[in-house]
A and B are shown apart, each in its own frame.
Chain A
Amino acid sequence: MFEIVAFYLFSVLTIVMFCITVFTNNSLYALSALAAGMIFISAFFFLLDADFLGAVQIVVYTGAVMALYAFGMMFFDSLSTVKERIQNPKLVFLLTGITALIIVVIFVAPIVGSNIEAQYPVHPEWGNSQDVGIVLFTKYLIPFEVAAVMLLVAMIGGIILAGKKMEISYSEMSEEEIDTFENQINQKDAK
């Protein structure tokens, strides 16, 4: 009973939040609705006995990813509404529906046909975190290490990409200096 009520409550909340993210024209609304939706999704992980995954979802998505987006949005003019030119809304609806249907059919078809045996069964007496840890550090050790290297590469790449031309501080320059500096940059770009 509790699970059914929780499932429907959180599915309605999640769908509403993500619809706001997709349909709104204000990027701040989109960001906060996305963060709320991420937290609601972690509720599904707790309902599915994947406690560790739920905690990781909250920490990584609302802690790290949303903070990154918030920092990124400081570079853009996020308070103005997003102007978008949509040419063919009906076609977009149709294409979305058809593609999603095809993807579901592709992935469900083999599962329906065959009986799946559990390769790494769940041990309820151990608890989810311990179970995940044992499988992750024995069977999935190499993908785990590769993911660690990938995150390191992404971190270095993000710092290098976003950090270009950051050695110049506008707040320490006077108005005239900023004007001459920007003129120089514009002349360089024009060349």
Chain B
Amino acid sequence: MSLNAYLILSTILFCIGMFGVIRRKNLLMLFFSTEIMLNAVNIGLAAVSKFHGDLTGQMFAFFIIAIAASEVAIGLGLLILWFKKKNSIDLDTLQNLKG
């Protein structure tokens, strides 16, 4: 398989994730879509790493995984706090100011 095939796959997955981020109104689903986008980028980085014979891409993928893990921990903590306060995890409840 060529580099292009992997990059196209990565782009398709990224589009799915981005569509989810724009479409979803539920905050938990929004987190899922973010994970999809991070994973799509990881595939692209690993593919570039292999086809250029360079390990830097894999290094960046590792750091992205670390960032994703900490994002989930903090994000879920905030989400639980918000759910306790408002009893809903809908994105529309996040606005307090009426415009």
Contacts and interface: CB of A to CB of B under 8 A. Distances in A.
B63 A69 contact: no
A126 to B, nearest CB: 11
Is the contact region of chain A dominated by helix, strand, or loop, or is it mixed? helix
A116 B18 contact: no
Contacts of A96: 15, 18-19, 22
A64 B31 CA distance: 15
B42 A41 contact: yes
Given A22-B19, A96-B18, A34 B35 contact: yes
Interface residues of A, number: 81
Contact of A157 (B42, B55, B67, B74): B74
A165 B54 CA distance: 49
27 contacts: A22-B17, A30-B32, A41-B42, A44-B43, A45-B46, A48-B6, A49-B50, A50-B49, A53-B58, A57-B65, A65-B68, A68-B73, A69-B32, A72-B79, A83-B90, A85-B92, A86-B23, A99-B18, A119-B56, A121-B54, A131-B55, A132-B62, A143-B63, A151-B69, A157-B73, A162-B76, A162-B77
